[in-house]
Amino acid sequence: MSVSAVDSAVLWLVIGYIGLHAFASRLSFFVVLGSIDDVPSWFESALRFVPPAVFAAFVVPAVVAPAGTVVSPIGSPHFIAGVVAGLIAWRTGSLHGTIIGGMVVFGLARLVVG
């Protein structure tokens, strides 16, 4: 549970990059005087798939294989809570409901499964 792989100086560089890149992206069209018409259509299309692709890439391994290997769905708190959170998000669209419901189920499942 540490950042042993990355020492703090390197981490600061990563954080600096994230901040500068985010700021440069936000500032870009304030400086170049273009508009949305100047954005290549492939870039605009690709951005639509960033959230589903990136979030799924994080979520699926964390739910299906929390310890690095695929676990049995039955009796896995991560799997059960992940599926319940997905269902709550799908049926209600509530951010709060999804987080609270998902964490409650995760806690209960860990108590039961041990």
| Subset of residues 20 to 39 that bind another protein, contact rule: CB under 8 A | 21-23, 25-31, 33-36, 38-39
Contact pattern for another protein over residues 92 through 111, marking x by CB under 8 A: -x-xx-xx--xx--xx--x-
Q: CB 75 → another protein: shortest distance, Å?
A: 16
Question: What is the distance between the alpha carbons of residues 113 and 60, in angstroms, rounded to a whole number?
Answer: 21
Number of residues that bind another protein (CB under 8 A): 77
112 binds another protein (CB under 8 A): no
Question: What is the distance between the alpha carbons of residues 12 and 4, in angstroms, rounded to a whole number?
Answer: 14
Question: What is the distance between the alpha carbons of residues 98 and 31, in angstroms, rounded to a whole number?
Answer: 40
114 binds another protein (CB under 8 A): no
Burial of 70-80, coded b for 16+ CB within 10 Å and e otherwise, reads ebeeeebbbbb
Out of 5, 72, 74, 111, the only residue in the binding site for another protein (CB under 8 A) is: 5
- What is the CB-side half-sphere exposure of residue 105 using CA atoms within 13 A? 20
Span 50-89, contacts to another protein by CB under 8 A: 50-66, 68, 70, 78, 81-82, 85-86, 89
